[in-house]
């Protein structure tokens, strides 16, 4: 089964979705959302349902998505401004959360509300309806958190 989801050849690889997001949020360019209260579903491929065994014992999970609506080479820049705000400082793409990246992988820690069969109900996933999910991991405090983490001062500005 692993070959069904990942193919490697000469430093190139193909990642296939393990599932898709179902959400009331549809893609709209330049739309800002408060993702914190949004409940959505992750529909995992039925052939992988057994891989969800005991995941419900975690209160939170890490979801990796392919931001399929952010695949536009013309919009990717090596330096960007936070949320596109011209008043914000210029930072390198890898110092930002811009969705327009060489590989548009999104990562989000979300609250796991429920699992029924191959469908996960989550809160706070910043992904629109139809977004491909490429992996799910349990959040493990102490392993996934950094007690001494810092963030750039400009990230508090709105």
The span from the CA of 60 to the CA of 34, in Å, is 18
For the segment 118-155, what is each residue's pLDDT rounded down to a tens digit? 999 999 998 999 999 999 999 998 888 887 888 888 77
φ, ψ dihedrals at 124, nearest 5°: 95, 10
Q: Which of 49-53, 68-72, 112-116 has the lowest mean pLDDT?
A: 68-72
Q: How confident is the model at residue 33 (pLDDT cuts 50, 70, 90)?
A: low
Strands 39-44 and 119-123, sheet pairing: antiparallel
Q: How confident is the model at residue 6 (pLDDT cuts 50, 70, 90)?
A: low
Domains of the chain: 14-67+104-145 (2.40.30.70), 72-102 (no CATH)
């Amino acid at each position: 089964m692993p070959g069904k989801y990942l193919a490697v050849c000469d430093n190139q690889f193909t990642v296939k979705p393990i599932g898709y997001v179902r959400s009331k949020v549809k893609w709209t360019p330049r739309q800002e959302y408060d993702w914190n209260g949004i409940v959505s579903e992750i529909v995992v491929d039925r052939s992988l349902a057994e891989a969800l065994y005991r995941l419900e014992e975690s209160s939170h999970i890490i979801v990796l998505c392919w931001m399929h609506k952010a695949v536009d080479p013309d919009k990717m820049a090596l330096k960007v401004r936070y949320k596109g705000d011209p008043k914000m400082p210029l930072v390198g793409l890898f110092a930002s959360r811009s969705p327009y990246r060489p590989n548009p992988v999104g990562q989000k820690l979300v609250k796991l509300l429920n699992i029924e069969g191959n469908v996960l109900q989550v809160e706070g996933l910043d992904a629109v309806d139809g977004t491909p999910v490429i992996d799910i991991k349990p959040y493990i405090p102490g392993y996934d958190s950094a007690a001494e983490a810092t963030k750039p001062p400009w990230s508090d500005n709105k």
